Structure 1
Amino acid sequence: MNPPKVFILPKKATEEARIVSLLNPRYAKPTRYLVCPETGIYEFTRVAAPKTTPRSWLMECSATGALAGKTDADRVELGTYITKGADLFVATPIDPLFLILPALAAASKSEKRFFLCSDDHFDSILQDSPHLAEVLRWENVRRLLESRMAAACETSQGGDELMFRFSEEKLLNELVSKAKKMADQPLPKSMEDKFVTKVLEAPMLGMKREATLSIPQDQSESVLAPESETTPSTVESSESQSSTASLVSATSDPSEASTAATSVTEESTTTTTITATEVVAATFQASEEITKLQRLRTAFQFICSSYVMPALAAELKTMLEERKSTLADFAPLDDYLAQIAKMRQDALAARSMGDYSRKRAVDDEEAAERAEKKRKKEEEDKRKKAGQSRGVRDLQKVNTRGMKKMSDFFKKK
């Protein structure tokens, strides 16, 4: 008996909906889909717990309370379960156009492309899609597939039947329109941070400024007073004043007092050196137009990498880059990315030439990296020990010195 799985199905799906195996548009392998004759086709998105923190499902059938008088087979079917993993399969709508792409791509491989009826296109993938023939028996599903096929094909009326011929131009327009709908608003947070914000972020430039000022001692306090933090120069000047004042009070001889006063006069004009390290952010910042273009490119690449075959996806990306004026002009985005790359190279070169303590910084980074690896290893060991039973932990403490291993008894003599 197969272990049970947890599915979240749409409420609007009817009782006639079935889980079938159809050809995956990206990898050309049979994949499970939910097909409803009334509401359309759904794909299953697998949501799993991370391997580092395993989880399980505790499931109970709704008819578990009515097990009286049931056979053993019924008890197994209607009983309670503990699953090994906490996988969750969520049914989300999918455009039927993607499920037809393998059939259209197969017909486009020939040098001469002809107008073919929908059945001819379906027959090309009928053997690879185990349940496609049963799905096509539903008239609503057939009409849905044919209507979406027209979005990526040139059509011609051949008598009473509509004929289709695959067109990369129409498919590109359809995918770009989908990508524009995704790019109208911010992408999911993980995608927005990794593929938009981080890519468009300008490098930070650190500059060290050193200024030497010669000001009277009595004015140094007024100059440095507005600062919220006391600089090293202020501390040094206050200490010199206190030491000089104590010297004057402790001296009884007028000559010594005059000498002390002279020393105060000589030190009244001091040289104050202020060293400040300021982190200056680059004034280069992505505009709203650049951000939208990056979102559009990311959304288009996501659609192609998820639902379009690799060879066809590469061809569509090339077509999109060539047709800058009609569908999307990525020239401003490319110029911005080129300038960002140049700024990063300049910042890296300046840092390597001007920072003589780079070796020490690298050593600190390596030490921090080793500490992080050690911490992760300790956490992994603790997690493994927590998953071991008490018997296994007790056996690890047994002294096996001088004992033979089990493999020694099965060696060839």
Structure 2
Amino acid sequence: MKISVVGGGYVGLVSAVCFAELGHSVDLIEIDRAKCDAINAGQPPIYEVGLEERLSAHAGRNLHAYVEYDHIKYSDIIFICVGTPQGPDGHPDISNIISASESIGRALRDKDGTRYHVVVVKSTVPPGTTERQVIPSVLRQFGKNNDQIGFAVNPEFLREGMAVWDFLNPDRIVIGCRKKMDGDLVEAAYSGINAPVIRTGIMAAEMIKYASNAFLATKISYANEIGNICKKLGIDVYEVMRAVGLDRRIGPAFLNAGIGFGGSCLPKDVSALIALAEDMGEDPILLKSVMQINKLQPLRLIDLLIKRVGHLNGKKIAVLGLSFKENTDDVRESRSIVVIKELIRRGARVAAYDPKANQSMKRFLTEIDYCSSASEALTGADACLVMTEWPEFAHLDKEFDLMKSRIVIEGRRILSCNDREGICW
């Protein structure tokens, strides 16, 4: 099958590489020429486990990246995978979606013959976006027989750090469409993957993504609130949640208490769902509480730190972990940003280390010292905050002896040494 993927970010690049892995011929449209050149050279512009090896295997063979849209006119399926960043009012910015839709319509206008195409929205968009914005934008630019283009929604459920695995081993494949033949063509693109296929209407498919992420965010904030109560009672919240998660109605995933959720999906998607609800006159009290808990949770780490070391002015604080989670270099909405900014505001000197995300964080924070190892960050530090569950942090112990005093506070539970304190355990 001939597939085009529009957008070379986390979702688009992973999708393009994995469709190539499934044996399809894939054209990736990425308007950033530097990224495009790197992809064609087999060098992913992002870090994602298993991505580089697979990209190297397919780049220049059955996967090619282009800055122009011309090649999509030869494709059976065109996946839209561009970003929908959060706007200042909580609504997602869908300008990239509209721009991509218009470019697709113009490119298909120049096609020859009667090849049928299905345009598929994989980007996360509010319910109604595909029918009200994408379809009209494509058809307006296409200006020909509308029977030659179909439309579908195929939301992604990829965890950063596990995106390649999740694409090839999904819990489910959701396809929303108007016409059965459009859904059949999209389903055929996933041939070779063993997973249940859920067929819905277009708006329902859009809503499934928001509902899924909002529920995961709710589980995290719930675990953190219980963890805060357990901290006051001297109870290990991990013991509590281990038992809670064994209930088949609940499940163990996303119950690890800590400093809250970040990344490019959960904060943005919950905010978008809140904005959507308010637009319709609903007051989403639960979702607002989820976001409020998440906003305040990392500041509890600062409170614990002050109780242990006193004022922070002039103190050197080591921060281990900058990415919002392990196995990625993505720092978007990282809880480390919130904590580091508060440390700086209070006059602390911050020495930070992350196995992959130092360069990514430099785009957001320039006024801290970036170190090449955990030991370098810890040397001479008055205290240490562990922010990300990188496996290499798990066995740190003697390295903490490099500090002025072994004051170690975890925002994520990863350390195996005994003399450390957790944010809510």
Please give the range of the TM-score, normalised by the shorter of the 2 chains.
under 0.3
- TM-score, structure 1 as length reference: 0.18
**Structure with greater proportional helix content:** 1
When normalised by structure 2's length, the TM-score is 0.18
Structure (1 or 2) with the larger CA radius of gyration: 1
Q: Which has the higher contact order (CA 8 A, sep 6+)?
A: 1
Identify the structure with the greater strand proportion: 1
